[in-house]
Structure 1
Amino acid sequence: MNRLKELRQEKNAKQEDLAEVTGVSAMTISRWENGESNIKPEKAQQLADYFGVSVGYLLGYSNYKNKDRYLDENSLDLVIESDMFNAIETIGEKNLPLVYKFLREEFEEEYSDVFLNDEEHDFTEDDVDDAVSTAMGNIGDGFWNLPDSLVRLIFFWSTLKSNEREQLLALIRTLSLNNLKEQSPTNSASKKST
């Protein structure tokens, strides 16, 4: 359940105030508060900005109002988990198991194809399991070293259904190829000569 009503009451705001901020009716705010309808992503971001919290916290996916709160609570112990830190602002740390499950399944599929189809070596399922465990162990360090934009992309990507990932990948491929055509040296030279 989202925290919209709780946050509104903490701020001593009325449903009408939130309606004005988001450009929807007070009835819509009431439906969001009661869980009768879902808050659209752009409205959730507006509300999160208004309350000074993360979208994940607003929607109930995170126990931390924002990354700063997480740092305040954990920095003295020097136990800052990069995955947790990035999840707070994206999918919420409560959904991190979805990311790990997705990554494990991807590694299992990839390594099974490579190891078990290698006719020159006698790899076993145990070899695949070892490779997957090693890859999963390296994930924490990997996330910490990646730019935030890529971490957010991985987190959001991992929550998609398989067919949604395929559709999005096809769209990204099309956009990328179009951009490459526009940026290619032969295309640039022909534009200059016209």
Structure 2
Amino acid sequence: WPKTSGGRGMHVFVPIEPAWTFTEVRRAAIAAGRELERRMPARVTTAWWKEERGERIFVDFNQTARDRTIASAYSVRPFPHAPVSAPLRWEEIDDAEPRDFDIVTLPVRYAELGDVHADMDQEAFRLDGLLELADRDEKERGLGDMPYPPEYPKMPGEPKRVQPSRARHDDDDGETA
């Protein structure tokens, strides 16, 4: 279920059955992102640091962390042209420009199309396959957790949260650069 963020990006809602913990949902999101990255490395990334992403689509696994929020559908965003987070149909994605959805255009769209996400709650998905993929990533590729947002406490098994351009590196002489 795609929607504009109300900013520059897009969000994809995936309704899931309420059977998993935050940690399991996070693991599934990371596994999905890594698999998309493996299949389309020139187009998709899970790189947390913006400087490593380039123009690739960022799969933001941290949106599944506890207490994270996103702009709800139809919410007006706090920017000068009053953009709105707009639910979309999949066939609209290629031509959708987030700036085209604002407080002037969205009521017209809604009057014409209704709520294009009205049926979202008709099906919820299971995470079993993604959790199996996460297990394989950990066992076969040594890929565990990914960095949490900076404001979160350090989590067990989490890699370093150092922006690559600020990381200290040892040079060939063993001295820190």
Which structure features the higher share of strand residues?
Answer: 2
Q: Which has the higher contact order (CA 8 A, sep 6+)?
A: 2
How would you bin the TM-score normalised by the shorter chain?
under 0.3
Give the alignment's TM-score, normalised by structure 1. Answer: 0.22
Which structure features the higher share of helix residues?
Answer: 1
